[in-house]
Structure 1
Amino acid sequence: MPHATQHADVVTAELDSALRGGPFHVALRAAIAARGLPLQRVQHHLSRHGVRVGVTSLSYWQQGARRPQRPESLRAVRALENCRIGRIRRHHDTGVLAAELLFDIRLRAGDTFLFRYTVEDGTADVCREYVRGADSPGGQYALQVCFDSSALPVRCHRFTQHSAAAPRGGRQELPLSARHRSVHLVEPRLRAGYVGITWDWG
């Protein structure tokens, strides 16, 4: 996907330039483009970072129709540039999707970085698992899978796998929270390999 990678590079360059030189509405528009989200999702993302701003305000700000006066405005731009999507690869035959997450800082050995991301499957295809792969050990990892209230699985399990070719092990049933329509796992120390959640529809 050279086009997607080129587009991501252009957006990143525009964001870096806008954050350095402004003006604010250009920087905000570049940050929103780098995230690739509609304004409602941007508002939700910002609220999780403690930044309260309305969708109408975001729209006015990115158009340059109004200039925010509070320091919260610049916090909004910084919060938006925290973690963005790099390269995306899809394997249509198997339904596998791999996405690269780019952080705003370079990590050295021993550094930590706390981040959260969401994957929404809009394909309407049957989905039976979510797997996270790591090529080196890491810190704590939490994985939560949420389901639509009209389509709850009958069983959920966690599993680990040393490599893509290795058999799955560490299989353990996970309780489904009916109230939150979700299931989760926590790995205190992420090992190299794969960890995931699989579910049965019945």
Structure 2
Amino acid sequence: MPTHHPEAARLAEALASGPFSLALRLALKSSGLSLDRIQVRLRERDAAVSKTALSNWQSGRTQPERPDSLRALAVLEDIVGVPGGALSALLGPPRPRGRWLTQAPGDMRADQAWARPDGLARALERMGAGIDAVSRMAKVAIHIVGTVDQDQRLRTMRHQLVLRAEVDGVDRHTVAHRSDVPRTMEITDTVGCRLGRRRADAETGFTTFELLLDRPLRAGELVSVAYTMRTDAKEPYHSQRVGRATRVAGIQVRFSAGALPVRVYRTYLPSIGEPECDETEVALGASYTAQVTVADPAPGIYRLCWDWD
């Protein structure tokens, strides 16, 4: 394919350096085929993939991992006209096992919660922490309020958390955030904590940061903290990972009156490697706010999603 075209050059660059979601998105666009048409062609070659799965792969919500998904990806490479193995090479190594099996009683394992836990491990290592840092405190209650502006950018996410120390002497809450779209990120307006070290892994889009507590806690002790994440990402959803300790989890997103989405819905995944459950429509309220609130939620990944067209 000619690379003097800006779109072709972007595709070539993405195929060379990733991430997978961006390369797939550009390859689909370059093919000129709709998701419906691609679905038909995959089915004709006995490699059926749902439109939801295709959408999730190109948005970075999930990635193909199971043998049937990887076989379908090989067929998809041929359908969209990229070299064989070009997309699958961007998936990275299989989800790690072994050290990922360690977890605190109240939380999900890293390989259950994230598609690229290797990136999480690297970001934490750059912060002088191990993979267990993200599970030394369990989330008992989660309340998140986001705002999306008229440019369709997710501008702020206000996090209010009730945390439980899982070990004696814990003095910080380690937070992980991942995005496949370019964005800036600033942590402000902390309450009950202050911002500590922050590190990133550019290859996988991970950012990790510490919220330093006012004092060390005993195992089982509760504490409330709050902070605001300010960003400029053109994200089409917000994900929240919920562990076994969580008693209530709520996500609210308020949209600008001048740029309302055509559709808002929620989804749930037991873990990153599982097929996504059915989408459930979510109504916009009079204040242009959509929300999902769950009491005694099953562990997993809860998403509030929106479509612009």
TM-score (norm 1): 0.48
Query: Which structure has the highest strand share of the two?
Result: 2
